Structures are given as C-alpha cells and as structure tokens.
Chains A and B, each alone.
Chain A
Amino acid sequence: GAVVSQHPSWVICKSGTSVKIECRSLDFQATTMFWYRQFPKQSLMLMATSNEGSKATYEQGVEKDKFLINHASLTLSTLTVTSAHPEDSSFYICSARGFSGELFFGEGSRLTVL
C-alpha cells in the first residue's frame, strides 16, 4: 500500500539550531500535505497545510516564521524548526493526501532540543 515516510525518525539538537524534517510520499503524488505536532499523552494538533508550489496555510497560533514549511514537489514536503528551543521538543507527524482524497500518515519524527 501507499507509504508516507518521514526522516529523520528522531533527532536531538542544541538550543538555537535549526532542524529540518522531511516527509515523502513514496508511491503516490500528494496534492496536499499536513503537519501535526503531538506532545506526550495529548492528541495530534494540526500545525499547517501545504500544497505543492504554494505557501503553507498555518493554523491559528502557529508561528510561520518558526516553523517553515516547503512543499517543493508532489512527493516531498519539509518542516524546518528554526532556532529550536526545548519547548519545541515534540513528536512531529506528517500526512499526505492523494488526488483521489486518500490520506496516509508518516511514522513521525521525535525532536528533542537540549
């Protein structure tokens, strides 16, 4: 079946550095990709929606300059956490929707900021 892959699956970085997380749809083209973050024992919170070749749409309260999203192709979207701080430590999950409306989730990326 269709697979959405995230890389890296986990990353540790120092405070103040930037971290990039990739989300790829492996066997289908994704019209839209979504980025979520999830804190321990909480639900997934939608951060932003990205469409290939256009600017991402951010949910209320999400800093677009802090969480840069690029959707350069129909199979790749990236999330860059800029100047990361310990409070940005979280589990980041992407999902991708194909042209027929089917939706698949990635395995998630665990970010730990020291």
Chain B
Amino acid sequence: LAKTTQPISMDSYEGQEVNITCSHNNIATNDYITWYQQFPSQGPRFIIQGYKTKVKNEVASLFIPADRKSSTLSLPRVSLSDTAVYYCLVDPTSNTGKLIFGQGTTLQVKP
C-alpha cells in the first residue's frame, strides 16, 4: 500500500486560495488519489478523486503530475468553514481495496 506524506498543518486567511501537496512515491498503476475532509467528531467527507492531470469539481481542483508521485489539492477562496483536517489517500479502488490514512493536514482558516 502506498504511503502518503503531507504537511501536518497550514494556515490561511479567508478568501485566499489554499494548495495542499501530498507525496505518494509508491503509488501503483491502478491506484487513484482521493482527498477527504474531516471535521471534529464527523466521518471523512469525500472532496475529489483523480488518476492523472487535472480534475475539478464545484469545491476543489486536483493536480496530478505525469509521474503521479505527488498531487496538489487546491481550494479556491477558502472561508472559515473550510477549517478542517484534509487527508490525501491512495485508493486501490478495487471492491476490496482498503484505505490507509496518513496524518492529514490541519488547515486553519483565519478571518
């Protein structure tokens, strides 16, 4: 299982764009990269998933270089409610594949 490494914490201000980078050097061919958000005392919430290049949805963008050994989650114009822990995971996506969580990045958005 590929291990992920991401910064432990980040600070930002409201309205700024936040980029969180994750490294996953041992990613396998069939693995996808998935990002989750977690608030205290809640289960992780799916943000975005990608395999390569760029993926975008209504809340975030995900940039994955050609070698897929890293990825960057981009949150446009963050607000106070985006203060949370963000996890980068390598997902085998097979119907029995398990997800191993790394330490996550605690994002603190300040007014």
Mark A residues whose CB is within 8 Å of B: 4, 6, 31-32, 34, 36, 43-46, 49, 51, 91, 93, 95, 97-101, 103-108, 110
Contacts and interface: CB of A to CB of B under 8 A. Distances in A.
9 contacts: A31-B95, A43-B101, A91-B41, A93-B44, A97-B97, A98-B95, A101-B94, A103-B91, A107-B42
Contacts of B45: 105
Given A103-B91, A105-B43, A105-B45, A45 B96 contact: no
Given A105-B44, A105-B45, A107-B43, A44 B101 contact: yes
Contact of A101 (B41, B95, B104): B95
Given A31-B96, A34-B99, A103-B46, 13 more contacts: A6-B43, A32-B98, A43-B87, A43-B101, A44-B87, A46-B98, A95-B99, A97-B95, A97-B96, A97-B97, A101-B93, A103-B93, A107-B42
Chain A CB count within 10 A is highest, among B34, B98, B100, for B98
Contact of B104 (A36, A43, A108): A43
B44 A43 contact: no
A100 B95 contact: yes
Contacts of A110: 41
Interface of B: 34, 36, 41-46, 87, 91, 93-104
Contact of B43 (A32, A46, A49, A108): A108
A88 to B, nearest CB: 17
Contacts of B93: 101, 103
